[in-house]
């Protein structure tokens, strides 16, 4: 019986340096009411010139996105950063695990900067290395570890990616999860899927045809994950009990209500949504898939989208000829993504322009090498690797 009782680090709090960081911004932030914030960010960015490359995740606020040199999902942005080795500073407007991935994929001469160190990811925080090592020990005790291939979603800490690299495992994104899982099943009879149970379940059941009851959930806060040795031995997929606090909110009831209210509406959701929501949706796919679907949709069509609200609002504004709405009754931004705001960006850019390197995100060499192993196994697979 093994368990590690590590608390989930709530937003911006906690000091487990092996997980998503949650510390205070060390600098003097300009007040949000400063009317010159846009001018200050523009001036600082211009002063830095080609020395800085600003990445903006799709879920970022408009006030931040306007300064991004490139926008995209986490993996695309990390690769975009790697394609700019001349940029001394990579300012990542996203969350901590994304900045880690960018640090792994960029050169030692480049510094990756996160404007607010408290911008973690609640999903990534749900799988801490000590917990995963305890789970692996339980799999060994159950006599199945040598049959298990660990697969981690891009949305995980560098520690977890490195764990997968050390144990014959691999990284996946939301668009290649099926290909990656098939690769894993060519190498073992079981998959340990981290940290998003919903992406794991949706892929296993809907893409690979694995029966729902062959998916079990490992609860890191329960002894032996809350599972018996027999349940572990009988399972095909062991899903880590993690989820996205944003995508996990969408409910099947809302889908039913919208269909009743707006006949012909299309329900388009991200695979981080609950299985019951995905089952009721018309289309499911990554953020890039969602963007492309709306771009290609005919004028006059109606869409309810189950993903982060900043992106949905931008899509609605960009496509006034279509009816684009949010698949939830209440406002639901990613609160950690939203920690990156204009004051933090101004502070970051002005600090860098003044020669002060702030909020650098670094991954130690061994962890980076092991994580790179897991990433490379994904990159070597045929098909799409972008999008999440």
Per CB under 6 A, residues contacting ligand SF4 are 59, 95, 121-123, 155, 244-246, 308, 334, 336-337
Q: Which of residues 337 and 375 has its CB atom nearest to ligand SF4 in the complex?
A: 337
The annotation status of 25 as a binding-site residue, yes or no, is: no
What's the closest the beta carbon of residue 332 comes to ligand SF4, in angstroms? Answer: 9
Among 37, 118, 62, CA closest to 310:
62
What's the closest the beta carbon of residue 171 comes to ligand SF4, in angstroms? Answer: 15
The annotation status of 288 as a binding-site residue, yes or no, is: no
- Torsion, Cα 358 364 370 372, to 10 degrees, reads 30
The annotation status of 271 as a binding-site residue, yes or no, is: yes
What's the closest the beta carbon of residue 34 comes to ligand SF4, in angstroms? Answer: 27
Q: Which of residues 174 and 179 has its CB atom nearest to ligand SF4 in the complex?
A: 174
Which residue do the tokens 């909020």 mark? 359
Q: Which two tokens stand for residue 99?
A: 């900045």
Q: Which residues contact 159 (CB under 8 A, 6 or more apart)?
A: 18, 19, 128, 129, 367
What's the closest the beta carbon of residue 20 comes to ligand SF4, in angstroms? Answer: 9
Q: Is 170 within 8 Å of 183 (Cβ atoms)?
A: yes
Direct distance between the N- and C-terminal alpha carbons of the chain, in angstroms, rounded to an integer = 35
For every residue of 1-55, DSSP letters joined together read -----PPP--TT----TTSS------S-PPPTT-TTHHHHHHHHHHHHGGGEEEE
Residue 89: enclosing H or E segment and its boundaries?
A: strand 89-93
Chain centroid to CA 88: how far? Answer: 25
Q: Which of residues 104 and 123 has its CB atom nearest to ligand SF4 in the complex?
A: 123
Query: Please, where are the H alpha helices in the chain?
Result: 37-48, 62-65, 74-82, 96-105, 122-125, 129-141, 158-166, 177-185, 197-202, 229-234, 252-261, 275-280, 287-296, 309-318, 342-353, 365-379
Q: Which two tokens stand for residue 48?
A: 């830095």
What's the closest the beta carbon of residue 159 comes to ligand SF4, in angstroms? Answer: 16
Q: Which of residues 154 and 371 has its CB atom nearest to ligand SF4 in the complex?
A: 154
What's the closest the beta carbon of residue 369 comes to ligand SF4, in angstroms? Answer: 25
The annotation status of 344 as a binding-site residue, yes or no, is: no
CA distance 62 to 46: 19
Identify the burial level of 360 via C-beta atoms within 10 angstroms of its C-beta, where 0-12 means exposed, 13-18 middle and 19 or more buried: middle
Identify the burial level of 356 via C-beta atoms within 10 angstroms of its C-beta, where 0-12 means exposed, 13-18 middle and 19 or more buried: exposed
Residues making up the annotated binding site are: 57, 74, 121, 153-155, 174, 244, 270-272, 287, 334
């Amino acid at each position: 019986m093994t368990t590690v009782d590590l608390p989930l680090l709530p937003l911006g709090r906690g000091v487990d340096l092996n997980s998503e960081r949650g510390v205070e911004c060390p600098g003097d932030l300009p007040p949000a009411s400063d009317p010159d914030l846009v001018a200050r960010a523009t001036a600082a960015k211009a002063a830095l010139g080609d020395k800085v490359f600003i990445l903006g995740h799709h879920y970022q606020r408009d006030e931040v996105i306007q300064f991004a040199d490139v926008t995209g999902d986490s993996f695309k942005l990390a690769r975009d950063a790697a394609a700019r080795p001349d940029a001394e500073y990579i300012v990542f407007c996203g969350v901590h695990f994304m900045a880690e991935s960018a640090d792994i994929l960029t050169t030692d001469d480049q510094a990756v900067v996160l404007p607010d160190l408290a911008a973690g990811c609640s999903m990534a925080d749900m799988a801490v290395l000590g917990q995963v090592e305890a789970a692996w020990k339980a799999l060994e005790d159950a006599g199945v570890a040598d049959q298990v291939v660990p697969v981690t979603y891009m949305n995980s800490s560098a520690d977890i990616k490195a764990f997968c690299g050390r144990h014959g495992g691999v990284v996946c994104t939301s668009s290649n999860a099926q290909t990656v899982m098939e690769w894993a099943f060519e190498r073992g009879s079981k998959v340990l899927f981290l940290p998003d149970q919903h992406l794991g379940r949706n892929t296993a059941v809907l893409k690979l045809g694995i029966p729902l009851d062959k998916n079990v959930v490992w609860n890191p806060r329960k002894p032996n994950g809350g599972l018996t040795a027999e349940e572990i031995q009988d399972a095909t997929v062991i899903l880590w009990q993690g989820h996205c606090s944003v995508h996990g909110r969408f409910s099947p009831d809302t889908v039913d209500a919208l269909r009743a209210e707006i006949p012909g509406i299309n329900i388009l959701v991200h695979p981080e949504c609950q299985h019951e929501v995905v089952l009721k949706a018309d289309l499911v796919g990554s953020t890039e898939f969602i963007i492309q679907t709306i771009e290609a949709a005919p004028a006059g069509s109606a869409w309810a989208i189950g993903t982060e609200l900043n992106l949905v609002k931008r899509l609605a504004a960009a496509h006034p000829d279509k009816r684009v709405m949010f698949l939830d009754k209440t406002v639901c931004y990613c609160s950690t993504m939203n920690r990156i705001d204009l004051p933090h960006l101004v502070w970051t850019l002005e600090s860098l322009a003044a020669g002060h390197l702030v909020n650098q995100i670094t991954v130690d060499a061994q962890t980076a090498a092991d994580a790179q192993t897991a990433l490379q196994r994904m990159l070597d697979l045929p098909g799409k690797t972008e999008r999440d």
